[in-house]
Amino acid sequence: MISEEILNELKEKIGNDKIKTEDFHLMTYSRDWSPRPKDDTHLPNIVVRPNSTKEVSEIIKVANKYKIPVTPIAGLTGMGGGAVPVHGGIALETKGLNKVLEIDKKNFTVTTQAGITVLKLNEYLEKEGLWWPHDPESKPSSTVGAAISCDNDSTFGIKYGRSVDFLLNAVIVTGTGEILRIGHRKALCTSTGYKLHWLLIGAEGTLGIITEVTLNIFPIPETRAIDGYLFRSIQDALNGLNRLLQSGLSVESAHINCKSRLGFYTQAYREKFGKEPEIPDWAESILFISFNGDKEVADFSQNYAKKILTNGQIVKEREIIDSWWSSKHTLSLIPFVQKWPDSQRVKKFGSADLGIPIGRIQEAYELYNQIAKKYDIQILGMCVYNERPNRISPSISFAVFVDDSTNENVKNFYNYVKEMSEMAIKKEGTMSTYIGDGDRLGGFNRIEHGRSLDYMYEIKKIFDPNNILQPGKKFKSQWIS
Ligand SMILES: Cc1cc2nc3c(=O)[nH]c(=O)nc-3n(C[C@H](O)[C@H](O)[C@H](O)COP(=O)(O)OP(=O)(O)OC[C@H]3O[C@@H](n4cnc5c(N)ncnc54)[C@H](O)[C@@H]3O)c2cc1C
C-alpha cells in the first residue's frame, strides 16, 4: 500500500527521523484498550510522528494523493477501537505535537498543541496557579486532542462540564491537507456561523486531525472536601444528589457506584488494614462527592451536605474515601494491582457506556444484571458519572469482565454491548457517552440516529472527500451487525 516512492516523498516532506517502519514500532500502534481477542493486531504500514501542523498537513496531502488510510493515534487508552489502524496505512502518532503555545492568564485561556497529555498540560498550568479541570482517569497517557475526539468524561464534569464547555477554537488538518482554524477565538460564546469546532467533539478523527486548541481554564481552588455516603438503592443516591444540587451547593464531583463497585473499595480496605470496614449489609450504592473552593466554603458545603443526606450513611473509614480518590488520580487503587476478584490488568474489562434519562437509571441497573447474566458475563459494576454543570447528567459505565482468550468470547461481549445499547435507546437514552462509536457501534448506531446518519456521512465527505481519515470508523462495525 505504501511503495518506496511514496515513502521517499514523505521523507522529503517531514524528514526520515519522523517515520518508522520497523515491525516493533508498527506493533506498538496495533491495539488500544478496546476488548479484542488477545492475539488480534492490526498493523499500520508506517508510523509518522509530526511536530507541527504544517508537517501534519504535508502527511495528509501525500495520504490523500495516494488514498492511504490515516489513523490519528494518541495515548492508545481508548476503549472503542478508535485508534486501531484497522485498514493499515499510516498511523499518525500525535504525541509529537506537545508544546504549550500560550497561557493567557488575563483571559483564562490556554492555547496548546493537541498531542500533549492532559496531565502534562496541567503541570504547566499549575506553575501559574491555573488548571484545566478536565480530568479523565487516564490523564497520564491520554491527550487533549483525544479528550475532544472521544468527548471524554471527567471526574469534575458536574461542576465544569466537558469539552463542549471548554473548547473555544481549534486548528485542524482536513482530509485534503488543508489547515483550518475553527471556533470563536477566545470568546466564551457566539451566535455567528455554525459551531464547526463542536463537530470535532466526539468525531474520533473522522473529520480532521486536531493539531491545536484553545481552552477555557480556571484558577486552582484553595481546597477540597471529599466524602462518601451509603444508600439503600441507586435511586436513593440519585435523589440525595438531586437534593444537594437543589439546595444551591456547588458539587465538584459526584460518582454513584453500585454494590459491586463498592466491593472494590471495601476489599482494598480489608487487604490493606486486615479488618472489616463498617459497611452495613443494606448498602446497595455509594455516592462519592467532593466540594472545592475557599476553605470556608468547602467546609460549609461538606457540613451542609451532612444535613441534607440524612437518608444516607456517611462512610466512616477515610481510607475508603482516599482509595476512591486515588483510583481517579493515580490508578494505584489496590484492586487495580491485586487479584480481587481479578486485577483489571490481569483480567480484561470492557463497558457499555450508556446515557440513561435520570428517572430510569434504577431500571437500567436491574436490566444490566439480567443482560450480563444472559450472556454469562461477570459484572464488574456500574458507575454513574455526572458530566454537565450543576445537574444530574448521567454518563454510566456498565462494566463487565471480558475473557479475551477466544474470538467467540469477545463477540459475546460485543453482543452484550449491543443488547445494552438497544436497552438504552428503548429508555430514550444514548448508546455511548464517553467511549464513542470507534469500530464497534458504526452502522448499528442507525437505531439511534436513523436517517441523520446519512447526513453525518455527507458532513464527513466535506471534510474528507476521499474518505482517508479513519475509513469505516463511526459508520461500520467490526463486531456488531
Ligand atoms: C485505565 C483507563 C482509565 C480511563 N479513564 C477514563 C475516564 O476517566 N474518562 C473517560 O472518558 N475515558 C477514560 N478512559 C478511556 C480513554 O482513556 C479515553 O477515551 C481517552 O480520551 C483516550 O485518549 P488517548 O490519548 O489514549 O486516545 P487514543 O486511544 O489514542 O485515541 C482515541 C480516539 O481519538 C482519536 N484522536 C486522538 N488524537 C486525535 C487528534 N489529535 N485529532 C483527531 N483525532 C484524534 C483517535 O483516532 C481515536 O479515535 C480510560 C481508559 C483507561 C484504559
Task: Dump pLDDT digits (tens) for 401-443.
Answer: 999 999 999 999 999 999 999 999 999 999 999 999 999 999 9
The pLDDT confidence band at residue 139, using thresholds 50, 70 and 90, is very high
**176-189 average pLDDT score:** 97
Strand ranges of the sheet holding 70-73, from the earlier edge strand across to the other edge: 19-20, 46-48, 90-93, 70-73
- Block residue for cell numbers 517531514: 14
Name the percent of the chain lying above pLDDT 70.
97
Closest CA to 158 of 354, 324, 359, 384: 384
Residue bearing the bigger pLDDT, 185 or 271: 185
- Pocket test residue of 33, 42, 77 for ligand 1, highest count of atoms within 8 A of CB: 77
State residue 337's pLDDT score. 53
State residue 344's pLDDT score. 52
Whether residue 148 is predicted with pLDDT greater than 80 in this model: the reply is yes
State the sign of the Cα–Cα–Cα–Cα dihedral 292, 293, 294, 296: negative
* Residue 67 Cα to ligand 1 middle (Å): 26
The pLDDT confidence band at residue 326, using thresholds 50, 70 and 90, is confident
State residue 272's pLDDT score. 83
Q: Which atom of ligand 1 is nearest to the CA of 155?
A: 8
Which of 202-216, 231-245, 310-324, 382-396 has the weakest average pLDDT? 310-324
Contact 382, 284 (CB under 8 A): no
CATH of domain 223-337: 3.30.70.3450
Whether residue 334 is predicted with pLDDT greater than 70 in this model: the reply is no
Nearest protein CA to atom 28 of ligand 1, as residue: 76
**385-396 average pLDDT score:** 97
Nearest protein CA to atom 7 of ligand 1, as residue: 136
Nearest protein CA to atom 37 of ligand 1, as residue: 146
Count the Cβ atoms, other than its own, within 10 Å of residue 43.
Answer: 17
**Quick one: DSSP state of residue 185?**
T
* Residue 139 Cα to ligand 1 middle (Å): 9
Helix/strand/coil (H/E/C) assignment for every residue in 213-234: EEEECEECCCEEEEEEEEECCH
Q: Which atom of ligand 1 is nearest to the CA of 71?
A: 47
402: part of which helix (H) or strand (E)? strand 394-402
pTM for this prediction = 0.96
Residues with CB under 6 A from ligand 1: 32-33, 71-79, 82-83, 94, 114, 136-138, 141-143, 145-147, 149-150, 152-153, 204-205, 209-210, 331, 434
Tallying the residues shown for the chain, one arrives at 481
Whether residue 472 is predicted with pLDDT greater than 80 in this model: the reply is yes
- Pocket test residue of 59, 152, 210 for ligand 1, highest count of atoms within 8 A of CB: 152
At 382 the three-state DSSP class reads strand
Average pLDDT of the chain is 95
- C-alpha cell recorded at residue 309: 443526606
Which option is the CATH number for 348-436: 2.40.50.100, 3.30.300.330, 3.40.630.40, 3.40.50.300? Answer: 3.30.300.330
* Residue 75 Cα to ligand 1 middle (Å): 7
* Residue 437 Cα to ligand 1 middle (Å): 12
State residue 331's pLDDT score. 61
Domain ranges of the chain: 4-93, 100-219, 223-337, 348-436
d(CA 222, CA 295): 7
Whether residue 332 is predicted with pLDDT greater than 60 in this model: the reply is no
CATH of domain 4-93: 3.30.43.10
- C-alpha cell recorded at residue 444: 448499528
CA 223 → CA 220, 303, 462, distances in Å? 9, 15, 47
d(CA 301, CA 312): 16
* Residue 303 Cα to ligand 1 middle (Å): 36
* Residue 479 Cα to ligand 1 middle (Å): 20
* Residue 363 Cα to ligand 1 middle (Å): 29
What architecture (CATH level 2) is domain 100-219? Answer: 2-Layer Sandwich (3.30)
State residue 107's pLDDT score. 98
Contact 123, 45 (CB under 8 A): no
* Residue 311 Cα to ligand 1 middle (Å): 37
**Quick one: DSSP state of residue 481?**
-
Nearest protein CA to atom 22 of ligand 1, as residue: 78
Nearest protein CA to atom 44 of ligand 1, as residue: 205
Nearest protein CA to atom 16 of ligand 1, as residue: 78
d(CA 272, CA 227): 20
Contact 246, 218 (CB under 8 A): no
- Pocket test residue of 59, 150, 162, 437 for ligand 1, highest count of atoms within 8 A of CB: 150
* Residue 422 Cα to ligand 1 middle (Å): 24
Closest CA to 97 of 55, 137, 152, 147: 55
State residue 330's pLDDT score. 75
Contact 75, 117 (CB under 8 A): yes
* Residue 56 Cα to ligand 1 middle (Å): 20
Nearest protein CA to atom 19 of ligand 1, as residue: 78
Whether residue 84 is predicted with pLDDT greater than 70 in this model: the reply is yes
Q: Which atom of ligand 1 is nearest to the CA of 435?
A: 19
The pLDDT confidence band at residue 342, using thresholds 50, 70 and 90, is very low
Count the Cβ atoms, other than its own, within 10 Å of residue 307.
Answer: 8
- Pocket test residue of 32, 87, 93, 138 for ligand 1, highest count of atoms within 8 A of CB: 138
Name the percent of the chain lying above pLDDT 90.
90
State residue 267's pLDDT score. 86
The dihedral over CA atoms of 214, 215, 219, 222, expressed in degrees to the nearest 10, equals: -140
- C-alpha cell recorded at residue 458: 455527507
Give the N- to C-terminal CA distance of the chain in Å, as an integer. 28
